[in-house]
C-alpha cells in the first residue's frame, strides 16, 4: 500500500469512528461535528475528500438516528448545519501543519462559525410555518440572544455541550493522529 493511501485510510477511519460516537450515549450536544470537519479539511489534501467525507460520515449518522426513531433529519435548519460543516472544513484546509495551539484556535474558530451559521438556520427555519422550529414573531436578534450561553439553561446546555464536544473531539482526533504518526512514519505530516 502506498504511503499516501495508508494516511488517507487512517484519516477516513478516524472520521467515521468519530461520527459513530454520536450514536452512543453522550452529554447533550456533545458531538464531533466541528472536529470531523476541521480534521478532514486539515488532513486530506484531495479537496473533494476533505469536503465529502466528513459530510458523508455525519449524514450516515443522521440516517442511523432517523432509522432508530430519533431526530436524524429535522428540517430546513439542518441544511445550515451541513453548510456550517463545509465552512469549518474550508477553515481546516488553511491549517497547515497541526500544532497544539493552532488546533485549539482553529477549534474555537470552528465552534464560532458553526454557532453563527446554525443559529441563522434556526431563524430561517422559524420563518416557515409547519417547520419544527416554527415560532411566530421570532427575530434574528432574538434567535442569537437565545443561543447565547448565559441566556437560559437550555442554551447553556447547547453551547457548553457543543463547545466541550468541539474541544474534546478535536483534541482526540488530532492527538491520536499525532501519536500514530510517531509510531508509523508512513503517516507523518504531509496532507493526505
pLDDT in tens, 131-186: 555 556 667 676 666 665 555 555 555 567 788 889 999 999 999 999 999 988 87
Residue 143, domain member (yes or no): yes
The pTM of this model reads 0.82
Residue 181, domain member (yes or no): yes
Decide if 118 contacts 80 (C-beta within 8 A): yes
Residue 86, domain member (yes or no): yes
How many structural domains are present in the chain? Answer: 1
Give me the residues of the chain with pLDDT under 70, please.
1-4, 71-74, 125-138, 140, 142-159, 189-192
Residue 30, domain member (yes or no): yes
Residue 91, domain member (yes or no): yes
**Domain span holding position 130:** 3-187
Element at 4 (helix H, strand E) = helix 3-20
The grid coordinates of residue 83 equal 453548510
Amino acid at each position: 500500500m502506498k504511503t499516501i493511501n495508508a494516511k488517507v485510510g487512517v484519516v477516513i477511519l478516524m472520521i467515521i469512528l468519530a461520527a459513530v460516537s454520536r450514536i452512543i450515549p453522550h452529554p447533550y450536544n456533545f458531538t464531533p461535528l466541528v472536529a470531523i470537519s476541521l480534521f478532514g479539511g486539515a488532513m486530506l489534501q484531495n479537496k473533494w475528500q476533505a469536503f465529502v467525507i466528513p459530510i458523508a460520515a455525519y449524514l450516515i449518522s443522521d440516517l442511523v438516528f432517523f432509522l432508530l426513531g430519533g431526530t436524524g433529519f429535522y428540517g430546513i435548519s439542518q441544511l445550515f448545519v451541513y453548510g456550517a460543516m463545509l465552512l469549518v472544513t474550508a477553515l481546516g484546509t488553511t491549517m497547515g501543519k497541526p500544532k497544539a495551539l493552532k488546533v485549539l484556535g482553529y477549534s474555537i474558530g470552528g465552534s464560532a462559525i458553526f454557532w453563527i451559521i446554525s443559529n441563522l438556520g434556526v431563524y430561517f427555519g422559524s420563518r416557515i410555518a409547519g417547520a419544527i422550529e416554527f415560532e411566530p414573531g421570532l427575530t434574528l436578534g432574538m434567535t442569537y440572544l437565545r443561543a447565547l450561553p448565559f441566556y437560559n439553561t437550555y442554551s447553556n446546555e447547547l453551547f457548553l455541550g457543543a463547545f466541550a464536544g468541539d474541544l474534546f473531539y478535536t483534541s482526540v482526533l488530532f492527538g491520536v493522529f499525532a501519536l500514530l504518526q510517531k509510531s508509523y512514519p508512513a503517516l507523518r505530516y504531509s496532507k493526505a
